[in-house]
Structure 1
Amino acid sequence: MGSRSVRDGKGHRAYRREQAALKRRTKVEDLPCGYGSPSGWGCGEHIDTDLPSTHRMSFTADHDKAIANGGRLVGQVLVPMHRRCNSLKSDHAATEIWAAS
């Protein structure tokens, strides 16, 4: 199943509600870019939630595990990010580093 069909499917409205709630929380609590990201992505700078959605520093809600890498549209942690930071992250997966034994 392609990521396009996932985005247009059953969970799309629920995702939009979660995204809007995160945007409100980001504005009220002044959450920084990447706040709460288990994988550590994000620049940590202020996000201006009033910028137009096309601006490179505008708010986006990022899925920590990209849909392209098996993440779900709904039910996973959404992370506030700048559009630019989210674009740089793309669908990169978190890297685990193991110590040599």
Structure 2
Amino acid sequence: MGSRAIRDGKGHRAYRRQQAALKRRTHAQNLPCGYGSLSGWGCGEEIDTTLPPTHKRSFTADHDDALANGGKLVGQVLVPMHRDCNARKGDNAAPEVWAAT
């Protein structure tokens, strides 16, 4: 199942609610780009939540585990990011670190 089908299917409204709540929290607490990202993506700069959605520095909610890599639409922790930082991240996965044996 492609990521487009996942986004348009069951859970889409729940995702939109999570996204809106994160945007409100980002505005209220002045969260930086990439705040809480386990993969380390994001520039760390302030996000202007009043910018139009098409602006390259506008707010987006990122799935740390990309949908294209098997991440779930709902149930993941969303990370606030600038639109251009999120586009740069794409569907890159967090690096896995294995202990030497």
3-state secondary structure, aligned to 1:61? strand
Q: CA RMSD in A?
A: 1.0
Q: TM-score with structure 2 length normalisation?
A: 0.96
Alignment of 1:6 onto 2:6? yes
Alignment of 1:69 onto 2:82? no
The alpha carbon displacement at 1:85 in A equals: 0.3
Count of residues in Structure 1 that have an aligned counterpart in Structure 2:
101
Percent sequence identity over matched residues? 76
The alpha carbon displacement at 1:96 in A equals: 2.2
The alpha carbon displacement at 1:2 in A equals: 1.1
* Structure 1: stretches of 5+ with no match in the other structure: none
In structure 1, distance between residues paired with 2:23 and 2:35: 12
Give CA deviations for 1:21-67 in whole Å, capped at 9, x if unaligned.
00000000000000000111100000000000000000000000000
* Structure 2: stretches of 5+ with no match in the other structure: none
The alpha carbon displacement at 1:92 in A equals: 0.2
Give CA deviations for 1:63-98 in whole Å, capped at 9, x if unaligned.
000000000000001000000000000000011244
What does 1:1-101 correspond to in 2, within 5 Å?
Answer: 1-98=1-98
In structure 2, distance between residues paired with 1:100 and 1:18: 39
In structure 2, distance between residues paired with 1:64 and 1:99: 23
Runs of 4+ in 1 over 6 A off after TM superposition: none
